[in-house]
Amino acid sequence: MVYLKGKDILDGAQFTREEIEHIMTVADRFRQDLEDKPGLDLMKGYLLAALFFEPSTRTRLSFETAMHRLGGNVIGFSSAESSSTSKGETLVDTIRTVDRYADIIAMRHPQIGSAKEAAAVANAPVLNGGDGAGQHPTQALLDLYTVRQERGKVDGMTIVLCGDLKNGRTVHAGVEIYKHYHCKLIMVAPEQLKMPSEIVARLRSHGLQVEETANLEEALAKGDVLYMTRIQKERFADPAEYERLKGSYILTREMVERIKPDITIMHPLPRVNEITTDVDSLSNAAYFRQVGNGVFIRMALIASVMGKI
């Protein structure tokens, strides 16, 4: 069965559990394939456009890596300044142009809803690599894949989401994916950066257990997985407010060892100061393995929407 052929990947809420499981299975297969050989030829002759109007390291490079590993090629730009956006071109005109060149589009843009806007005019499938403080579905899928890899399952897990839950698009997409699983979410944020209440209400009405607190230590003690996030500086209108909140939660090795030594520690990265570097050498610090998983998941998404798998 071809699950996602021709579809856009815009929002964590668009998937059924069956589709999510399909992506995980395909990612597993690609992981195994790449153990035997450096690349495949499934996407030979196809072009991915990577349009990054906002800074990125992992999302852009892992999309590019994924396409190359599948045997395809990549075009694109990595800043709005180096594209005609800087001359005043609209997003829609840029997309209509790129649609004439490429078979599939991965994009990141500062505006909420931009990927949806692009998908409305593109014939090529559009993969949302982050639309402002909106959604980041490919990251959410690789996060779920990482929980599954690290813990062997998702059902039954207590997952602590900590940091900027108001502006963080990875957690906005993530909760839409977790709602298909029997897990419990503990949301840890300062009052000003809480997960929007309408999202929490919707998750609860879907049957998901959600607890909210400002106390990280308390949440750590109950968690199987800790998902730390960066305070999203670029989304603050008032720089003084960012300065006040940027040190809200800092995970140290001492805290992990004292409270929950075996908790799986994840982070979408980039990290600023939320996890001290002495945590990195713990065997349960999973964030760089998480980075690697991004390639398999994006390979799975590209191959699926292109109808190759």
Interface stretch with ligand NCD, choices 82-90, 195-203, 240-248, 262-270 (CB under 6 A) = 262-270
DSSP 21-71: HHHHHHHHHHHHHHHH-S---TTTT-EEEEEESS--SHHHHHHHHHHHHTT
Piece of the chain touching ligand NCD by CB under 6 A; list 32-40, 92-100, 267-275, 297-305? 267-275
Is residue 200 within 8 A of residue 172, CB to CB? The reply is no
* Tokens encoding 32: 């195994």
Helix axes 169-178, 137-151, angle to 10 degrees: 60
- Options 58, 169, 179, 267, the catalytic residue: 58
Segment interacting with ligand NCD (CB under 6 A) among 13-21, 176-184, 236-244, 265-273: 265-273
User: Is residue 297 packed enough to be buried (19+ CB in 10 Å), middle (13-18) or exposed (0-12)?
Assistant: buried
State in angstroms the smallest separation of the CB of 237 from ligand NCD: 18
Q: Is 166 in the site for ligand NCD (CB under 6 A)?
A: no
Q: DSSP for 84-149, please give it.
A: GGGGT--HHHHHHHHTTT-SEEEEEESSTTHHHHHHHH-SS-EEEEEETTS--HHHHHHHHHHHHH
For the question of residue 108 being annotated catalytic, the response is: yes
With respect to ligand NCD, which residue has the nearer C-beta, 42 or 301? 301
Q: Does 136 bind ligand NCD (CB under 6 A)?
A: yes
Considering the candidates 7, 22, 31, 59, report the single residue annotated as catalytic.
Answer: 59
Binding of residue 60 to ligand NCD (CB under 6 A): no
Catalytic residue among 136, 180, 184, 298: 136
Nearer to ligand NCD, 125 or 132 (CB): 132
Cite the active site residues.
58-59, 87, 108, 136
Residues in contact with ligand NCD by the rule CB under 6 A: 58-59, 130, 136, 139, 169-170, 229-230, 268-270
